[in-house]
Amino acid sequence: MADATTPAPVDDRPYSPGLEGVIAGETTIALVDGNNGRLIYRGYPIGELVRNGTYAQVAELLWTGEWVAQAHLACAPLSDRVIASLRNLPASSHPMDALRTAISTWGAETSPPWPATVEQARAITALAPSALAAFARIRQGLDPIAPDPSLGLAAGFLYQLNGSRADEGRARALDAYFMVGAEHGFNASTFTARVITATRSDIASAVCGAIGALKGPLHGGAPSEVVSQLHEIGTPENAAAWIDDALARGERLMGFGHRVYRAYDPRAAALREVAEGMGNIAEWLRLAVAVEDIALQKLAEKSPDRPLKTNVEYYTAAVLQGVGLPPDLFPSTFALARMAGWTAHVIEQVAANRLIRPDVRYIGPSERHLPGAV
């Protein structure tokens, strides 16, 4: 029997809090180049994809590695069970909880087998916008709207949400947001999906876990905070003084800085380009652009050695506000965009699966005995 004073074995292997800098896998899906401000999906830069593609084409690219020019992805109808599960939720439920509930119900009734397939990925990605739109209407005392199969995913979501077809500019802007939000490497929610998949659990379970990770404010909550920040600033003329006061109080400017990017976030650049083409939000965009320019100047003056550039959440706020979404739907709309990336990683994980089981360093008490046990 070990002595009561026997210390724990020494473990001098390197430890990285939050797994920062640790290579936890290999992927062919996307390159996130933070130092140079590049995001590349299977070889194609995000700006080029947004200018020339659609979310359906990007989703097929992520799932299969092929560019399918004729790709079309429409919102899927909901089963009676899924609608009933949404009706049974309190109207005050978080939209992310409603989306997770719908995916869980779909998984329970369809029992998608392991390993996951592209067909399963398409099904769950098409279901999600219908589920979120249905919950948004149910909580207002309205009935869900059946999807229009002729519309793409973004336009179809807006149709089911509002009961009328969105104009081309709004649908295009939301589709662009879906593209830039589709994939971003081993972020917290994607890694969660891969860990769950690695246990040979099904795709619905993996996506539910990913939604749970994205619900956390450190991962999916920033765009709505950008809206609040811009509303507080009010006009471009107020921006400099407001930012000076916020920085003097040690507050963080929402929409600036990123865990990975040290250069301008390429997703923000792509969304700004799209947003500038939306005439219906000219005043909102004018404020966003003016505040961005002043904020970047102030941040550079305050911390010249620490680059804090615009991130995707900043122009996400402008686009989602511009297409008419309430701020409490912003995180769950992010989840709709990320469905393609989550499910692409699920498919990649099953192709060369190995249970993800990192070690942990024990730093508790040395071995000891209960009083009177010796």
Checking DSSP bridges between strand 38-41 and strand 30-33, what pairing results, if any? Answer: antiparallel
Give the contacts of 131 (CB within 8 A, at least 6 positions apart): 78, 82, 86, 98, 99, 102, 103
Residue 165 · residue 159 · CB < 8 Å: yes
Could you check whether the bond before residue 115 is cis, i.e. omega within 30 degrees of 0?
yes
Start-to-end C-alpha separation, the chain: 10
Tokens representing 294?
């002043």
Residue 58 · residue 179 · CB < 8 Å: yes
Instruction: Please name the residue that has the structure tokens 């779909």.
Output: 106
146 Ramachandran zone, left/alpha/beta (phi>0; psi -120 to 50):
beta
User: Could you tell me how far CA 201 lies from the centroid of its own chain?
Assistant: 22
Residue 281 · residue 321 · CB < 8 Å: yes
User: Could you tell me how far CA 208 lies from the centroid of its own chain?
Assistant: 13
How far CA 219 is from CA of 192, 210, 268, 288, 350, in Å, comes to 12, 11, 16, 22, 25
Active-site positions read 258, 313
